[in-house]
A and B are shown apart, each in its own frame.
Chain A
Amino acid sequence: MSEIKEYIYDSASKFLKKQSTQDLLEKGQKGLFDDELWASLNDMGLTGVNIPEAYGGVGGDYEDGFTVIRLVGQYPIPLPLPETLISKWILSQYGIKIHHDQPLSFYFNEQKPLEVRKHNGNYIISGEALNVPWGRVAKEIVALAKCQNEWMMVLVPVNESKIHEEVNLAGEPRDSLIFHDIHIGGSAIKIIEDCESKKIVEQLYALAKAAMLAGISERVVQECLSYASERKQFGRNLYRFQAVQQHISLLVGETAACLAAVNNAVEMLQGSNDSLFILLTKIKVSSVAGDIAMTAHQLHGAIGMTYEHTLHHLTKRLWSWRDEAGDERYWQGELSTYIAHSPATIWSLLVDNHEVKSIL
C-alpha cells in the first residue's frame, strides 16, 4: 500500500464510518442532500484523489481512488463522491480544470449521445441524458456527444436542463436531464480521437460500482457476523448451527472473491486500457450481490426486514448497484464479444503478464 493509500484508508475509513449513520441513510432515502458533509469531503481532500495537484486534486493513483470508492460502499453516504471523482479523472485527462467544489456527474452512452451543433463559432448542445447518477445535485455533467461524425466529450451545466427526478431503491438520484439548445464555450469541448476512449467512463463506472458492491458486501458480512455471534436460539449462538455456518461461508467466500476481483482489476487498470478485467469483475460482483443480500436477510430473520434495522439500507444498495453501470447480462455479452475476437487462449488472457508477453 502506498503511503497516501494508507493515509486515505485510515482517515477516510474512520471518517466515513462515523458519518454513515442510520440517521444519514434515512435522510438519503428521503432524497436530502447534506451540504455540510459534502464540504467536509472536500476539506479532507477526498474529492481530489487521483487528480493531479495542477487540477486542484491531491494526487495519488487509481488504487487510491478506488480505495475511497470502496469505502463509500462499506460505509455508505448519500453523496456523489464516486461520480465526482470519475468525472474529475476524465476532465483532468482531457486537460479541463474545474474551479469549484460542487458535485459532478456524467453521461456516456454510445447509443444515445448528446448532440452538438456548431453555429457561428458557438457550440449548441441538445439531447436527453438518461439515468444520470445524482444529476439534480451535480453542477455539471461530463457527457459523450456527437457532432455529425465526430465524437466529443462535453462539460454541460445542469442548471439549464429540465430534470426528471428518479431514484434507485436506496433513494439515490438517477435523474434524466433534458438539454435544449444549450450554448457552451469551446473550452468545455474536447474531440475524442480514439474509439476506446468513448468507453472509458462506462468502464470506470462499472469498476466503481463493483468496488462499492464489494465494499458493501464487507459491511454486510460484518453485520451478519455480529448478529450470528450475539443472537441465541435453542440456547446456542446462531453461528454454532451448521445450517447458519453454510450461510456465513457463502457470505464470506463470495465477499472475499469479489474483493480479489476488484483489487486485481484496479491493479490492471494502472497503465493498461484492457477492459477484460473490468468486465470479469463487474459480472462476478453483480452476479453474487443478490445472493449476498438474500442470505444476509435469511440470517437476520424477521428483525432485518424492518425499517428500523440498518440492514435494508445495505441490501437496497446491493439490489440497485448490481444493475447500475451494466448488469451481468450486459457485460456477459461484451465478454463474449471480447473472447470471440481474441486470438489468445483464455488462459493466456487470464494469467499472462501482458506487458512482458508483448516483448516476447
Chain B
Amino acid sequence: MVKLEVPTVQLTSDQQSFRNEVRTFLREEIQSGHFTPACDSWLSGESSTFSKKLGDKGWIGMTWPQAYGGSEKSAIERYILTEELLVAGAPVAAHWFADRQTGPLLLKYGTENQKKTFLPQITKGECFFAIGLSEPNAGSDLAAIKTRAVRTDGGWLLTGSKIWSSGAHIAHYMVVLCRTSPEDGENRHDGMSQLIVDLHVNGVTIRPITFLTGEHHFNEVFFENVFVPDEQVVGQVGNGWKQGMAELAYERSGPERILSTYPLFSGVIDELKRINDREGLTEMLSLLPELWSIRNLSIGVAKYLDEGKDVSFIASLVKDRGTTFETKVAETVRLVLSKHPDLLNSRPIVELYTQSILHGPGFTLRGGTTEILRGMIAKGVVSE
C-alpha cells in the first residue's frame, strides 16, 4: 500500500511566538517603506540590504550548526520564517538559493574548510550563491549537460555555460554541475561533479537574459578555462548527479511552491471584504481549501525531511499541486476584480495582479517542469 500521508504539524507556543516576532518585524519593514510587498519576491525581490538584516537576526541558515553561524533551529522554525517572508512579499531573492540549497549541500557533502569558509558568510547575508544546473541544450533532460572540467595542476579548468541562473549577476558564487569524465551512453548520470565557482574570476562572463516583463532576473553564465582549485570541489568527484538530486526534495516541497501569488490572494480578499462583495469573496475563497490542504502537505514533508525520511515523490507532488494553485489565483482574480493587467498601473492590487499573470509561466517550469514531476510521481508510486 503506497503511503500518501505526511504527519500533521501543530505549532508549539514558542514556535507561535517566533511567528509573531517575524510578522512584527516584517510589518515594521513595510510600514517604514523598506520594501513593497510583491508577488514572486523570491525570484524578483533582490535586496542585499534586506538580506543583511535577516542575517543580523540569525534568520539565514537558521537550522545550521552554531559552529558555522547557524542557530540550530528546527526545520519547522525555518518553514515558519519562510512562509511569513513570502506571505509578506518580502525581497528575499538575493540569499534564497544559498539558504535553501547551497548550505544544506555543503553541510552534507562539503569539507570542513568549505563549511568554515562559506557557511558563516551566508548566514550573515553577505554571500550569495546561484544555481548552476540547466544549460542551453540541457533543460528537463539535465543529464545532457556539456559543461566540463578537465584536470590541471591543483584543480580543474572549467569550460561551458549555464542558463536561467537567477540572480547570478548579484551572486558571489555558483555551484556548477559539470562533467569531469566523458559521457557514457549507458550510465549517463556517472562522471559528473559539483564545483564551487567564484563568479568574479577571470574567464567568467555573465550575460543578462531579460525576463518577459523587461526585468533582469535570469542570466546565462559562460566559463572559459576557469580555474577551480581542488578545495572547491563539493563532495566526491563523479558523484555530482546524486548530490544534486538529493537537494531537490528541499527545493520542490517548500512554501515558495505555493505562496508565490499569496500577496495578491490576500490583497484581493481584504479588498472584497472591505467593499462587502460577497459573491466575489465566495469565488476567491473557493481556492482557500486548496491552499490549506497543500500547505499542510508541504509542512508535513518539511517534518519528514527533518526526520531524514525519503519523500522525493511527495515533494514532487507538492510542487505540482502547489504551482497549480499559484496560477489559479491570478486566473480567479481576473474575473473577480474586473481590472486589466497593466505594467504601468502602480495601484498595489493591479501591480500584484500583473506580476502574478506575467510571472505565471515560470511557476510550473522552474525547479522541474510539471511534465517531469508527473513522470517522477507516477514512477515513484508504481515502484512502491
Contacts and interface: CB of A to CB of B under 8 A. Distances in A.
A249 B286 contact: no
Contact of B317 (A242, A246, A253, A346): A253
Contacts of B293: 257-258, 260-261, 280-281, 284
B4 A252 contact: yes
Chain A residues touching B, majority SS: helix
Nearest to B321: A253
A350 B84 CA distance: 12
B74 interface: no
A111 interface: no
B2 interface: yes
A264 interface: yes
B377 A287 contact: no
B62 interface: no
A257 B266 contact: no
A294 to B, nearest CB: 17
Contacts of A222: 1-2
Interface residues of B, number: 53
Contacts of B1: 222
Contacts of A259: 4-5
A339 B294 CA distance: 20
A38 B358 CA distance: 58
B11 A353 contact: yes
Contact of A352 (B4, B6, B19, B378): B19
Given A253-B317, A332-B282, A332-B285, A356 B11 contact: yes
B381 A357 contact: no
A277 B288 CA distance: 11
Interface size class of A (residues with CB under 8 A): 35 or more
Given A228-B382, A253-B320, A335-B285, A260 B296 contact: yes
B145 interface: no
Given A332-B282, A340-B273, A347-B266, A252 B292 contact: no
Interface in A239-296: 239, 242, 244-246, 248-249, 252-261, 263-264, 267, 277, 279-281, 283-284, 287
A282 B374 CA distance: 26
B377 A245 contact: yes
Contact of B8 (A218, A267, A328): A267
A339 B4 contact: no
A264 B293 CA distance: 9
B377 A248 contact: yes
B10 A267 contact: yes
Given A260-B300, A353-B16, A340 B281 contact: yes
A302 interface: no
Chain B residues touching A, majority SS: helix
Contacts of B294: 257, 260
Given A252-B317, A284-B289, A225 B297 contact: no
Nearest to B325: A257
A340 B320 contact: no
A257 B318 CA distance: 9
B87 A347 contact: yes
B309 interface: no
Interface string B276-302: 101001100110111111111100100
Interface in A343-360: 345-347, 350-353, 355-357, 359-360
B248 interface: no
Contacts of B314: 256
A260 to B, nearest CB: 4
A229 interface: yes
B382 A239 contact: yes
Interface in B343-384: 371, 373-375, 377-379, 381-382
Contacts of B291: 350
Given A280-B289, A336-B278, A350 B295 contact: yes
A235 interface: no
B262 to A, nearest CB: 8
Contacts of A355: 13
Contacts of B11: 351-353, 356
Contacts of B13: 353, 355-356, 359
B371 A264 contact: no
B378 A245 contact: yes
14 contacts: A239-B382, A245-B377, A249-B377, A253-B320, A259-B4, A260-B6, A267-B10, A281-B289, A284-B292, A335-B285, A335-B288, A345-B266, A346-B269, A359-B13
Given A228-B382, A261-B289, A357-B16, 10 more contacts: A252-B2, A252-B4, A256-B314, A257-B290, A260-B8, A260-B297, A283-B286, A284-B293, A336-B285, A352-B16
Interface of B: 1-2, 4-6, 8, 10-13, 15-17, 19-20, 83, 87, 262, 265-266, 269-270, 273, 276, 278, 281-282, 285-286, 288-297, 300, 314, 317, 320-321, 371, 373-375, 377-379, 381-382
